[in-house]
């Protein structure tokens, strides 16, 4: 024992020595690195101080970590409002949500809503200097129609080119949401489009992509051939950072604007102010509407479908009126949001009859009792025929907001006697298991097409549409009528009826396959000198919703 | 020396220290059951720094951090106890079999022990946990299947040593069965080693439980587990909410240290010869 002990002491001393040494080296590392950082920032500041009137023409942004369908419409570039920086589309929307021409000078629709005519601008060029022609538009639409995955253009009969640089699109049947797709589809050059387009994107937007490091950053520079108003900022560096890293970058002065989740909203960063933008970005709980045991598909994978608890209408309706939306807003997102009763609150196609007096615990308990649920064994969870009102709920664990909202929902549901077990997961797992359990769901666009994809029984088993496997013939009928309406007014009438027609509907007071709860404000910490112009109501996706009016952004010295 | 033994002595100090550590742990356990689950409810009292009402402050959803921490440690202690017991049982069985059932069994078991030790510890646990489907069940399984090896080796060598002792040879010549010998002669002899091994395994197991819950593994964020608390707090350190991480972390260290101290003291008391080292 003794010799061993002797060996031990020097070893211990040695380990202390090494510890001390590493501490010294760590400190030395810090001190040697900080001067370089200072010199980097000081090399920037003189240029600012010497010429205070110099126009700042570079922006560093950390507005979200997104890597969906990079730059290629076929991979989904445009489905989350991404295209405004890099591409132009036939139409676009202004800050009042009106449809205005972009690539098209104007547009006309025939009375039967089957023929759409777009005279194109003659002065539009891609970032490589080549003219954007009607051929390119025709190519883009035909390519996406053939692909049919990210953009459903199956109702398009043909795309023709008419005299005078004009595109004529004919449809099989009227489609009221087509006009929105026209704003989402970015035009790609026929001559340069291939499977590697993501690596070498050429578009006709105000910026061109000069560098994209997968999952790290996107660098964009001004496209000198851009036909619209020249933006003040000639270079954009988008850092793809996680939420807390983005905040750290803002504190270190390394970014001009960062996205912050509501939990970080009260952070004070010198020289930066909080910008909150109302959005139609809604959050709710998707609840399977069929009992367990069924099979189905999500994103082309075979999955299990159904949940025995959430398929009971009383449970879904009780959650709709029992959950206190204002309290959810206060607790989970610090009050930075609005109540939501549908996916489309305050939009022209929103049915205001679906607004309920929520937080009504007595009312919710009555619905449960009428539905046959009672707490027979006094464990404060209601049950029916021996089955407890208990189900799993998935949420994206990398999303702070959905995590917090899910916790708050589960907390409130326990007051109703409904036990929700939360499971954090990645989206890949959620798509596989999500049809057997509740999911913290999100959505919201400037157009009503999602009302169709989330509630029509015709899209069950395609992509991740209608995850609840909800099926109501009456709702299907209204949705079809809305989709094929010839005018927006007629379409809106049917969208509203699909939500609630006095007897049935997919909204919370109807069948409630998705209980919508809140609309979240999009929050950004931005340099106080950065003027973001007049922002429209944001759509789902805080990463790209900002950039619709990028050409209006200014730096006010 | 004599005068010391009559009054206050080192042995009593040791006992007192061990007893106070044990009392501290029992207090935590008691608090874990006594504190109301209502404190885990969300409220608008968000982001409060430590105060008398909330000794550890509240988190960004208004949950009382003191309750969460104590309940988290209760989970750690239960998982730790369960996993330690399983590990000890496995270790005793493996160690005894290796020593008693001859060369072939010894070779096989030693090989298994080497195999388990050879795998990187944390990776192995994650693997088992993942295969078992996560959750508390996966965590307990993952931890208990990886921690028995060192103790099994100790048990094996102890048993080998004891086995050849004269009284056991005599017992065998008297026709006692192997089971009788194992039960009446061998296990009592190695009991101190096992007890110490059990106690010293606790901190190890609890730390690994914290590591696994830190990584997630199917535990719901509703469950107060010390690893979950720490990993959640990570994303809030950048916003200056130090109390979310300092108090739970500190308490975890104190709990670990208490177990370590109990184990060490008992080891010294049971093996008085080693107290002079």
CA distance A248 to chain B (A): 7
> Domain check: are A73 and A93 in the same one?
no
Closest CB to A404: pick one of B41, B44, B61: B61
The Cα–Cα gap between B186 and B178 comes to 10
Is B43 at the interface with chain A, CB within 8 A?
A: yes
Is B196 within a domain?
yes
> Domain check: are A358 and A501 in the same one?
yes
Is B80 within a domain?
yes
> Domain check: are A180 and A196 in the same one?
yes
Which structure tokens are listed for A10?
């020097």
Rounded to 10 deg, the angle between the B121-131 and B187-214 helix axes is 80
Contact A63, A258 (CB under 8 A): yes
> Domain check: are A153 and A52 in the same one?
no
Tell me: the pLDDT tens digits for A47-67?
344 444 567 889 999 988 876
> Domain check: are A476 and A410 in the same one?
yes
Is B56 within a domain?
no
pLDDT of residue A9: 46
A251 contacts in chain B (CB < 8 Å): 238
> Domain check: are A99 and A62 in the same one?
no
Q: Coil, strand or helix: which one is A52?
A: coil
Is B49 at the interface with chain A, CB within 8 A?
A: no
Among A335, A333, A330, A325, smallest CA distance to A285 is for A325
Domain with B143 in it: 65-270
> Domain check: are A9 and A100 in the same one?
no
Is B122 within a domain?
yes
pLDDT of residue B222: 83
Q: Percentage of chain A surpassing pLDDT 70? A: 90
Contact B76, B226 (CB under 8 A): yes
> Domain check: are A337 and A440 in the same one?
yes
pLDDT of residue B36: 84
Among A495, A514, A515, smallest CA distance to A352 is for A495
Which structure tokens are listed for A99?
């449809």
DSSP string, B240-251: T-THHHHHHHHH
Residue A441 pLDDT more than 80? yes
> Domain check: are A223 and A364 in the same one?
no
Is B32 within a domain?
no
The Cα–Cα gap between A245 and A239 comes to 10
Number of domains within chain B: 1
Count of alpha carbons within 13 angstroms of residue A70, beta-carbon side: 22
Closest CB to A5: pick one of B42, B61, B277: B277
Confidence of residue A23 (pLDDT cuts 50, 70, 90): low
Is B184 at the interface with chain A, CB within 8 A?
A: no
**Where is mean pLDDT largest: A489-498, A533-542, B209-218?**
A489-498
pTM for this entry:
0.80
How far is Cα of residue A171 from the mean position of the Cα atoms in its chain?
A: 29
CATH of the domain at B185: 1.10.3720.10
Confidence of residue A447 (pLDDT cuts 50, 70, 90): confident
CATH of the domain at A300: 3.10.105.10
CB contact under 8 A, B61 and A332: yes
CATH of the domain at A117: 3.90.76.10
CA distance A499 to chain B (A): 32
Closest CB to B220: pick one of A330, A400, A421: A421
pLDDT of residue B27: 93
Is B57 within a domain?
no
Tell me: the pLDDT tens digits for A274-325?
999 999 989 999 999 999 998 998 888 899 999 999 999 999 999 999 999 9
> Domain check: are A535 and A496 in the same one?
no
Residue A407 pLDDT more than 90? yes
In total, chain B counts a number of residues equal to: 277
The Cα–Cα gap between B207 and B252 comes to 8
Is B275 at the interface with chain A, CB within 8 A?
A: no
CB contact under 8 A, A423 and B218: yes
B222 contacts in chain A (CB < 8 Å): 407, 410, 421-422
Contact A70, A212 (CB under 8 A): yes
Number of domains within chain A: 3
Is B5 within a domain?
no
CB contact under 8 A, A263 and B41: no
Is B216 at the interface with chain A, CB within 8 A?
A: yes
Contact A413, A419 (CB under 8 A): yes
DSSP string, A158-198: EEEEETTTEEEEEESS--TTHHHHHHH-----TTT-STTTT
Is B36 at the interface with chain A, CB within 8 A?
A: no
Is B275 within a domain?
no
CB contact under 8 A, B220 and A248: no
Region of B153 on the Ramachandran plot (φ > 0 left; ψ -120 to 50 alpha; else beta): alpha
The Cα–Cα gap between A76 and A148 comes to 11
In whole angstroms, how far apart are CA B225 and each of A70, A478, B19, B26, B40? 39, 48, 26, 18, 12
The residue ranges of DSSP E strands in A312-357, in sequence order, are: 337-339
> Domain check: are A436 and A337 in the same one?
yes
Sheet with A272-277, side-by-side order of all strands: A207-213, A217-222, A235-239, A58-62, A257-259, A522-527, A272-277
CB contact under 8 A, B277 and A1: yes
Q: Coil, strand or helix: which one is A382?
A: coil
List, run by run, the mean pLDDT of 10-residue segments along chain B (277 residues).
61 87 92 86 84 88 90 89 90 84 87 89 88 85 88 87 86 85 85 87 88 81 86 80 90 91 86 64
> Domain check: are A77 and A92 in the same one?
no
Confidence of residue A25 (pLDDT cuts 50, 70, 90): low
Higher pLDDT, A212 or A25: A212
Domain with A509 in it: 282-520
Tell me: the pLDDT tens digits for B117-140?
888 888 888 899 889 887 888 888
Where a domain ends, among A170, A201, A232?
A201
Tell me: the pLDDT tens digits for A352-404?
999 999 989 999 999 999 999 998 888 889 999 889 999 999 998 878 889 99
Across chain A, mean pLDDT equals 86
């Amino acid at each position: 024992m003794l010799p061993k002990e002797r060996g031990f002491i020097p070893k211990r001393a040695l380990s202390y020595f090494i510890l001390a040494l590493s501490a010294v080296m760590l400190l030395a590392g810090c001190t040697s690195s900080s001067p370089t950082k200072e010199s980097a920032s000081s090399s920037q500041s003189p240029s600012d101080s010497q010429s205070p009137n110099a126009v700042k023409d570079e922006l560093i942004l950390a507005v979200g970590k997104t890597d969906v369908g990079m730059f290629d419409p076929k991979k989904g570039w445009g489905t989350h409002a991404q295209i405004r920086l890099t591409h132009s589309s036939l139409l676009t929307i202004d800050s009042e949500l009106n449809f205005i021409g972009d690539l098209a000078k104007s547009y006309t629709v025939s009375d039967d809503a089957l023929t759409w005519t777009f005279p194109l601008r003659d002065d539009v060029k891609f970032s490589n200097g080549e003219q954007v022609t009607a051929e390119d538009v025709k190519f883009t639409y035909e390519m996406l129609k053939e692909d049919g995955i990210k953009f459903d253009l199956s109702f398009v009969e043909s795309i023709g080119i008419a005299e005078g640089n004009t595109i004529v699109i004919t449809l099989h049947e009227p489609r009221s949401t087509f006009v929105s797709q026209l704003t989402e589809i970015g035009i790609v050059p026929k001559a340069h489009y291939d499977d590697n387009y993501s690596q070498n994107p050429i578009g006709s937007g105000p910026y061109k992509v000069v560098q994209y490091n997968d999952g790290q950053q996107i660098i964009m520079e001004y496209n000198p051939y851009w036909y619209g108003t020249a933006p003040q900022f000639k270079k954009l560096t988008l850092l793809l950072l996680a939420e807390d890293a983005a905040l750290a970058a803002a504190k270190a002065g390394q970014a001009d604007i960062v996205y912050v989740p509501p939990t970080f909203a009260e952070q004070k960063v010198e020289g930066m102010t909080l910008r909150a933008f109302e959005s139609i970005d809604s959050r709710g709980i998707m609840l399977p509407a069929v009992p367990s045991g069924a099979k189905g598909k999500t994103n082309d994978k075979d999955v299990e479908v159904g949940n025995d608890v959430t398929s009971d209408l009383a449970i879904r309706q009780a959650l709709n009126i029992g959950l206190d939306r204002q309290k959810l807003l206060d607790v989970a997102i610090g009050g930075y949001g609005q109540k939501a009763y549908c996916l489309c609150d305050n939009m022209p196609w929103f049915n205001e009859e679906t607004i309920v007096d929520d937080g009504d615990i007595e009312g919710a308990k009555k619905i449960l009792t009428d539905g046959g649920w009672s707490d027979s064994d006094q464990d404060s969870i209601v049950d029916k025929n021996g089955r407890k009102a208990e189900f799993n709920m998935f949420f994206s664990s990398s999303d702070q907001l959905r995590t917090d909202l899910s916790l708050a929902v589960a907390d409130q549901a326990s007051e109703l006697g409904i036990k929700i077990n939360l499971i954090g997961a990645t989206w890949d797992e959620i798509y596989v298991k999500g049809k057997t359990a509740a999911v913290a769901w999100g959505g919201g666009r400037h157009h009503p097409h999602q009302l169709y994809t989330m509630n029509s029984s015709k899209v069950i088993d395609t992509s991740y549409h209608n995850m609840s496997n909800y099926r109501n013939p009456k709702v299907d009928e209204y949705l079809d009528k809305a989709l094929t309406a010839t005018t927006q007014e007629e379409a809106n009438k049917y969208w509203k009826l699909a939500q609630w027609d006095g007897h049935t509907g997919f909204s919370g007071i109807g069948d409630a396959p998705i209980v919508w709860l809140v609309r979240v404000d999009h929050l950004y910490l931005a340099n106080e000198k950065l003027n973001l112009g007049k922002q429209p109501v944001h759509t789902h996706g805080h990463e790209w919703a900002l950039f619709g009016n990028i050409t209006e952004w200014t730096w006010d010295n | 020396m004599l005068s010391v033994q009559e009054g206050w002595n080192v042995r009593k100090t040791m006992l007192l220290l061990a007893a106070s550590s044990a009392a501290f742990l029992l207090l935590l356990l008691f608090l874990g059951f006594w504190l109301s689950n209502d404190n885990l409810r969300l409220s608008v009292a968000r982001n409060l720094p430590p105060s008398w009402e909330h000794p550890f402050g509240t988190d960004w959803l208004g949950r009382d951090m003191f309750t969460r921490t104590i309940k988290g440690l209760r989970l750690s202690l239960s998982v730790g106890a369960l996993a330690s017991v399983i590990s000890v049982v496995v270790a005793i069985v493996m160690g005894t079999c290796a020593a008693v059932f001859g060369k072939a069994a010894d070779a096989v078991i030693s090989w298994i022990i080497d195999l388990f030790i050879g795998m990187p510890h944390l990776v192995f646990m994650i693997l088992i946990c993942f295969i078992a489907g996560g959750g508390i069940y996966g965590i307990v399984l993952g931890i208990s299947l990886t921690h028995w090896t060192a103790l099994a080796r100790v048990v094996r060598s102890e048993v080998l040593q004891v086995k050849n002792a004269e009284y056991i040879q005599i017992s065998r010549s008297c026709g006692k069965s192997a089971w009788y010998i194992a039960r009446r002669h061998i296990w009592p002899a190695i009991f101190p080693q096992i007890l110490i091994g059990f106690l010293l395994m606790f901190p190890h197991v609890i730390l690994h439980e914290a590591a696994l819950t830190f990584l997630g593994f199917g535990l719901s964020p509703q469950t107060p587990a010390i690893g979950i608390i720490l990993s959640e707090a990570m994303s809030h350190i950048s916003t200056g909410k130090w109390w979310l991480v300092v108090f739970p972390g500190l308490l975890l260290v104190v709990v670990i240290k208490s177990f370590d101290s109990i184990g060490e003291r008992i080891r010294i008391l049971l093996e008085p010869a080693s107290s002079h080292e």
